[in-house]
Amino acid sequence: MNPENENAHIIDNEHFSYLLIRDYLLGNILGEHTDEILYWAGKDLARQFPLKSQEDLYEAMIYCGFGQLELLKKEKNTQQYSLDSDLITVRTQNEQASFQLEAGFLAQQIQMTTGLPCEAKAEILVGKDKKKEVLITLFIE
């Protein structure tokens, strides 16, 4: 299949069905509230599938299809993680891609395993090598 439009490059991708639903359909349905709704949906998913410990979080993120989580920086009230995978590399090509579902899931899992209130934000940044990367910053009270 080779339609002539600006999204033709993702059609042959092995993750096309996921991309179609996650980054195109949901955005159309949720509109301007996409980020907020996905964030709270991520928190709700974490409550439905609670982890026993923070160590389980890395494996859970992979099993959920969210990507490989890596702790970059840990301070008293903040933690910063990178999220990476082949799927994320493809998703970050779409300027409308939202990673707030992952941020909400991570924040709620940390909150449940530590007992401390936690919120998060996800951002797509361009690295030195011009590769886009997803960073999730947690704010822990």
Per-residue pLDDT reduced to its tens digit, 109-138: 999 999 999 999 999 998 878 889 999 999
As beta bridge partners, residue 129 has none
Q: 10 Å Cβ neighbour count for 101?
A: 23
pLDDT at position 5 = 65
Q: Which domains does the chain have, with CATH numbers?
A: 7-140 (3.30.1380.20)
Please write the tens of the pLDDT for every residue from 58-104.
999 999 999 999 999 999 999 999 999 998 988 998 888 999 999 99
**pLDDT tens digit string along 26-68?**
999 999 999 999 999 999 999 999 999 888 999 999 999 999 9
Q: Which of 36, 56, 33, 141 is nearest to 106 (CA)?
A: 56
In this predicted structure, the answer to whether residue 2 has a pLDDT above a threshold of 80 is no
Contact 140, 77 (CB under 8 A): yes
How many angstroms separate the Cα of 125 from the Cα of each of 5, 34, 77, 141?
26, 19, 22, 25
Largest CA distance in the chain: 51
